[in-house]
Structure formats: structure tokens, C-alpha cells
Chains A and B, each alone.
Chain A
């Protein structure tokens, strides 16, 4: 039983990262109509930002949690202003190719300076250790990751679905021309939206730094699974991407317990099944 709970926890943690990343992808796709293949590289930059802040700035994990999303988010906004903006109105395929190229360039630069192997990032002292829940042992940091990502995901959902700013965002997703004709600076909103999506990826990067090693390819491996998650959930829905992210992490964890051989492929098998039955994804709308 201990092992089952253990795998469930690992599943929940992976699900936390899937949810944060696929949420960012959904937000970006909704507003920019771009499938952001650079998402994994930006996640990696978040982890590196935390590493740099500690190494060269003497700023600890808590500062990184705040600053890394802002720094990498600002870098994302620069990318949007200088590169992605030119693809407006074109087929999403162009955005996919451009961001895929960006991902390779960013990863290449980091690999050039830091090699392929990862560097350790110390777990903050406050979150070390664990608690015995009676039925299982819970490392505090892992519980922390699940809670933080749940809170951030729900806050993002609230921002988009329940606030005035979110109403602008939803309206601009539907009809940007008219929203602009009401006096709202839609190009600025697009830039900020991309910044938000990228910031979420960077936050996931900081959260993962103490668990996984900080390395140039950490995003490349993860992003493939995240895209499968996005395909299963459907691109359109915010809540859909959160729920799908967490559930697929858990499904992966369960598979690891019951049939470990399939644990690496179960997400892709599900993706194929969903594509066969409902090509727009479980919560997606046909465009």
C-alpha cells in the first residue's frame, strides 16, 4: 500500500508540472493562436534563473519563486514583441515552427555554457524533511509543490473566468478587433498574456529545481508529455487543462504501480485514443 501511495504522490507532483505548463499553453493559444513550443525551454530558463539568482545574486529560493517568473516573463514579452507579433493572422503552424526553432536556439545556448548534465539546486531549509501521515511518509517539499501549483492554477482560472481583466481576455480571444474598438489596448494585452503564460512555465521551473537537476534539457523531455496532455485536454479550456494535467499525472502514477512497463507510454496511448474518438480533445471546442 505504501508503494501505491508513493506512486500516487509522484503522479500528483508530475501532474502539478503538467497542469502549470499546459495551463500556460492554453492561455497563450487562446489569445495568440500560437502553439508555444518554446514552453519547455522557458520552463528550463525558470530553473536556471533560480540557480543564477542563488549563485550570483545570493537570493534564495523564496526570492527566486517571485523573481524568476518576472524575469523570464519579461524575456517572453520581448520575444512576443520582436518575433511572435509578426506571425499574427498566419496559420498556427508558423508559430509552432518559430517557437520550436526558438526552443532549439535557447537550449543550444545553455548547453554550450553548461553542458548537458544537470546542476543541483539545494532544497530550501524550511521545506526539508517530511511528515509521517500514518499511511505514508510525505516529503514536505513534494506536498508544497502540489499545493503551490494547485493554488496558482486556481488563481489563474479565477483571474481569467471571474475578473474584469479576464473578461477582456476572453472577449479579445473571441473578437480582438471589436474589443480594441472599445478602447482597450489589445496588442498590449497580447504581450502581457504571453508574459503570463511564460511566467507560469518559469514558476514551474523554479518549483522543479530542487527535485530535478537544473539542466539545459530538462524542459525538452517534459514538454513532449505536456503537449500530449494538451492534446488530450483540448486547447481551448482553462479548467480543462488544469484538471487534465493533474489527472494524467495521477494516471501515470497508478500505471507505474500496477503495470510499470507502460508508465512512460500511457499518456501517449491515451492521446491516440482521444484523438481517434474526439479530435478536439476532452474539453476542447471545434473551431
Chain B
């Protein structure tokens, strides 16, 4: 298995997390290197989304180690983690109803220079330019997903966490989002993706982790995909 050289951007070790009393993550171990697209696969309820939320620091209680660019973030508040350069696109998209599209787009503050200029964002997502004065939640599901991705590109963060960006969308929109993620990867963004849609992730990711019961149970690179199909079908029940 060949990996890009260099220290990981994100290094997660023994990550545990709880929602109230229920123990969701039981020691997640994985890492993401500079410029990689890494996908967490797994069945519903395996703990993939919880992993992203734990990295972001928006889960009730977590333990273990989450190193981002060499800094331990496990005890940091989510606003500090965001300011280190971690950008999050949540599963429910989180478009604000009381803000119009432009306000939604401009909401996340710039955390460092080098963010994508708004003109380039409009090139990637032409639909958004057309709808700037609409109420955020009046957009279609696909447009809301694009807006949710678009707004985190502006901030200068180079590490993106996308939680199920294709959920509930039409095939043609899914293709568009796939092309966008490829372009972002080509521009050097590092991306941690959570996906149910295996076919979608297969075409994009460099490496995969299979998550079950709050733990990583297997990992393989995209080159090993063919050889691992049998195992994968078993894991994911597809």
C-alpha cells in the first residue's frame, strides 16, 4: 500500500465519544495525509458522522487523541478547532433559514488567507450566483448541499470534512458534486468524506476506512478496491 509521504494532517488515535450515556465511538484509529481524499465507509449507525463531529469538537464527551497539523485538539472548543483550519459540512447541511443565500455563503469567518474568492466559488456552483437573495432554505436539496460546501471554501481552511454530501440527491446532482470534489482535490484540498454511497466514493477517494461499532475494522487503498470487493460487500451488506 503506497501512501503520500509526509506527516498526516489529521491523526486520530483511540478516539472515544459519547452521546449522553450512550458510548458511540470505541477507539477510532485513522489518519489523513496532505492532499488525500479519505472516505469512512460503514453501515448506518456505525459512528461515521459521530467521528466527524468528534473531530470538530461538537460532541458531548470525547477522549483519546485528535492531532491536527501536529496540535492536540481533543480538549479544544469547536470554535478554536475551526480556527486551526478544519472546515465542516454537516449531514443535515445546516443552511440557515433566517439568512439569505448570500448571508449563508458569507457566514463562516475567514480563518486564514488563501481562501477561494467568491468569483471562483460561483464558477464551481453557478446555481448559487442566481439565487443570492433567496432565503437559504428555499433552495432545492442539491443547491443547499452546494451552498453548504461553497461556504466553507471561502474561509481559507484547507481540510474539509464532508458528511454524506450525496444523501437524498438526484443522480445528476451527485455527479456534479463528485466533479466538484475532484476539482477540490486537484487544487490541493485535503478531504475527509463520510459516504453511504459506495459507488460515489469509489471514484473519488485515495483510501478507505471501514467503520463498525465505533471502530475502524479494515482499511484499503483505491488500488486494492477490486481485490477487496468481496469483503466490502460483507461489511456494508450491499
Contacts and interface: CB of A to CB of B under 8 A. Distances in A.
Interface in A233-266: none
A177 B78 contact: yes
B96 A174 contact: yes
| Interface residues of A, dominant DSSP | helix
B7 interface: no
B99 A183 contact: no
A174 B97 CA distance: 8
A132 interface: no
Interface in B84-131: 88, 90, 94, 96-99, 103, 106-109, 111
Contacts of A183: 79, 82-83, 108-109, 111, 155
A181 interface: yes
A180 B96 contact: no
A171 B96 CA distance: 6
Contacts of B155: 182-183
Name the residue in B58, B88, B103 with the highest tally of chain A Cβ atoms < 10 Å from its Cβ. Answer: B103
A70 B140 CA distance: 45
Most chain A CB within 10 A, of B77, B97, B107, is at B107
Interface in A185-208: 185-186
A180 B77 contact: yes
Contacts of B57: 181
A170 B79 contact: no
Interface residues of A, number: 18
Contacts of A173: 98
Contact of A181 (B88, B97, B99): B88
Contacts of B82: 180-183
A186 B58 CA distance: 13
A167 B106 contact: yes
Contacts of A157: none
A181 B58 CA distance: 7
A178 to B, nearest CB: 5
Contacts of B194: none
Contacts of B103: 167
Contact of B99 (A170, A182, A185): A170
Contacts of A179: 107
Interface in B49-70: 56-58
Contacts of A182: 79, 82, 88, 107-109, 152, 155
A178 B88 CA distance: 9
A241 to B, nearest CB: 16
B220 to A, nearest CB: 30
Given A164-B106, A183-B109, A178 B94 contact: yes
Interface in A135-171: 164, 167-168, 170-171
Contacts of A164: 106
Given A174-B96, A181-B57, A181-B88, A168 B79 contact: no
Contacts of A174: 96-98
Interface string A54-89: 000000000000000000000000000000000000
A179 B77 CA distance: 12
A167 B57 CA distance: 23
Contacts of A185: 79
Contact of B90 (A167, A168, A178, A180): A178
A175 B94 contact: yes
B162 to A, nearest CB: 14
Most buried by B among A171, A174, A179: A171
A183 B98 CA distance: 19
A184 interface: yes
Contacts of B90: 178, 181
Nearest to A185: B79
Interface of B: 56-58, 77-79, 81-83, 88, 90, 94, 96-99, 103, 106-109, 111, 152, 155
11 contacts: A179-B107, A180-B58, A180-B77, A180-B82, A181-B57, A181-B90, A182-B82, A182-B107, A182-B109, A183-B79, A184-B109
Given A177-B58, A182-B82, A184-B109, 6 more contacts: A167-B106, A168-B107, A171-B107, A180-B58, A181-B79, A182-B152
